[in-house]
Structure 1
């Protein structure tokens, strides 16, 4: 895949994530993907890959943070005893 497509897909995914965060519409990327698919399947595929990676990273990061928060609260509870 060309650097241009990768760069454009990454920037569009970044901007799309910002719109999703601000509007609360967590399926907005699907609409963007459909729009892209009408004119460039290659860019659509690159964009959707970028989105899946970002969404997965966000979910995994939340899981890690939640696990650490839970662990720390358990440690504090034990220390209080």
Structure 2
């Protein structure tokens, strides 16, 4: 990664921790506004890292929930529909 990507990813990790601590899952939008006022390039790197990390967390939660329910003989969660298929 380049310096911009590294800085954006570091800020994304810190922001995710802050979001958990303050209980605000939209806090990263505020951080993005602050960053974007000075550097749109860093803002985009930050938002890209946030989207990737949030998506990975949702995917991990889905896998864990599916396994937990499957092991308990419950009904597995349903994945959202694929909106990219035409």
- TM-score, normalised with respect to structure 2: 0.82
- Tell me the C-alpha RMSD between the 2 structures: 1.3
Runs of 4+ in 1 over 3 A off after TM superposition: none
Shift of 1:63: 0.4
Structure showing greater Rg: 1
1:33 paired with 2:5, answer no
When the two structures are aligned, how many residues end up with a matched partner?
Answer: 74
Partner of 2:50: 51
**Structure 2 spans left out of the alignment, 5+ residues:** 75-86
Partner of 1:24: 23
Please state which structure has a larger fraction of its residues in helix: 1
- TM-score, normalised with respect to structure 1: 0.87
Partner of 1:14: 13
**Structure 1 spans left out of the alignment, 5+ residues:** 76-81
